Amino acid sequence: MKKVLVISGKGGTGKTTISSTLIDLLDIKALADCDVDAPNLHLVSSFDDKSLLKEDQFKGMDIFQINSDLCINCGKCQENCKFDSIDFVDNKYQINPLACEGCGVCEFVCPVNAISPIDNYVGSTQVFKTDKLFSTAKLTMGSGNSGKLVSQVKKNLDDNIKDEPIAIIDGSPGIGCPVIASLSAIDVALVVTEPSLSGLSDLKRIVKTAQVFKTKTAIIINKADLNLDVKKLIIKYINESDLVLLGEINYDNNVSKIINSQNSLAKVNTLASKQIKLIAEKLLSLVHESQ
């Protein structure tokens, strides 16, 4: 199964809209949302609670707690905590679970073994099944370890569907831990950018990140006609970097109206949908070339 990851380097480029349209146009049966901090692919898909195949709590790195009955208030834990996660309140030491990074130094330095790890559930994974299979997750607000959760989303996809030719994965914006986890074992990275200076800057950063994984990278310029001067700079960068320009999508007022009415761009005849259809055809050729 060839995996296509749709990423953007920044938010607001239209990544999820394009992902969902490509899924419908190509009738993709295997899909995932690796934007675990703010998953939204399900909002433009047909999955609901009735199609939930399984849901599991996700355990992140352990955090620590202090047994106040054993603690002798020596303060060594607080002195050695590099994350300032230990407070002295009501004449006893307490670990703030939101600040604890799970390094375990406090447990190591405690002379009376009053500190021990506890399970730390940071989110949940969901797998939905209709005629398609959809793997996604939700990270608990304020939690870390989103890269590990992304890896589990991809594992759930692999474990539950194997005989499909192509999977499309909606990734996270930026270049942080979730994106790095998303990029592993990917056949094609499809980067959606926009003609703005911040869009160009973030495009360069995400391409550089993808190149670390030696991933075949293609570019889509969304809202391409909003700033023709910057679009020329983007195309120049693509050519100079030996990247693939998969296509351009002009700004189309109809897109937001179609999405808000819960319709798919794949099912309507508008400027943006025609351009995405051409991109879908080129994407198929690119995926076959990556074999």
Query: Averaged over 135-152, what is the pLDDT?
Result: 85
Name the residue among 156, 159, 181, 217 with its Cα closest to residue 32: 156
> What pLDDT is stored for residue 254 in this prediction?
86
pLDDT of 289 reads 80
Provide the strand spans (E) within the chain.
2-7, 30-33, 52-59, 63-66, 86-89, 92-95, 115-118, 121-129, 133-139, 166-170, 188-193, 216-222, 244-249
Q: Which amino acid is at 286?
A: L
Contacts of residue 139, defined as CB under 8 A and 6 or more positions apart, other chains included, come to 36, 37, 122, 123, 146, 149
Residue ranges, comma separated, of all CATH 3.40.50.300 domains in the chain are 2-59+130-289
Residue 232 belongs to what H/E stretch? Answer: helix 228-240
- Point out the least confidently predicted range of 5-19, 39-53, 81-95, 277-291: 39-53
Asked if residue 22 lies in contact with residue 276, where contact means CB atoms within 8 angstroms, the answer is: yes
In the numeric block, the tokens 């793997």 are attached to: 135
Q: Is the pLDDT of residue 142 over 90?
A: no
Q: Is the pLDDT of residue 46 over 80?
A: no
Q: CA geometry: angle at 193 spanning 190 and 196, to 5°?
A: 170
Domain 63-119 has CATH 3.30.70.20: yes
Residue 49 has what pLDDT? Answer: 80
Amino acid present at 192: V
How far from chain centre, in Å, is Cα 185? 14
Contact yes or no for 157/167 (Cβ under 8 A) = yes
pLDDT at 268: 86
Cα–Cα distance for residue pair 209/262, rounded to 1 Å: 34
Question: How much is the pLDDT for 291?
Answer: 59
List the Cα angle 187/192/193 in 5-degree steps.
140
Domain with CATH 3.30.70.20 in the chain: 63-119
Could you tell me which residues are beta bridge partners of residue 240?
Answer: none
Q: How confident is the model at residue 145 (pLDDT cuts 50, 70, 90)?
A: low
- Looking at residue 284, its pLDDT comes to 92
HSE on the CB side for 99, CA within 13 Å? 11
CATH of domain 2-59+130-289: 3.40.50.300
Residues 63-82: tens digit of each pLDDT: 999 999 999 999 999 999 99
The whole-number average pLDDT for the span 259-270 is 83
Average pLDDT score over residue span 32-59: 86
The residue among 155, 148, 156 whose CA lies nearest residue 128 is 156
Contact predicate 26/129, CB 8 Å? no
24 pLDDT higher than 70: yes
In the chain, the percentage of residues whose pLDDT exceeds 90 is: 69
Q: Are 150 and 139 in contact (CB under 8 A)?
A: no
For the chain, give the mean pLDDT.
91
For the stretch 200-223, pLDDT in tens is 999 999 999 999 999 999 999 999
Residue 120 has pLDDT above 70, yes or no: yes
Q: Is residue 20 pLDDT above 80, yes or no?
A: yes
Is 185 within 8 Å of 215 (Cβ atoms)?
no
Average pLDDT over residues 59-66: 90
Give this prediction's pTM. Answer: 0.87
Cross-strand bridge partners of residue 121: 59
Average pLDDT score over residue span 169-177? 89
Q: Can you name the residues that pair with 7 across neighbouring β-strands?
A: 191
**pLDDT computed for residue 164 by the predictor:** 92
Q: Say what the pLDDT of residue 19 is.
A: 93
| pLDDT confidence of residue 85 | 96
How far is C-alpha 145 from the geometric centre of its chain's CA atoms? 12
How far from 228 is each of 149, 195, 232, 279, CA to CA, in Å? 39, 7, 6, 20
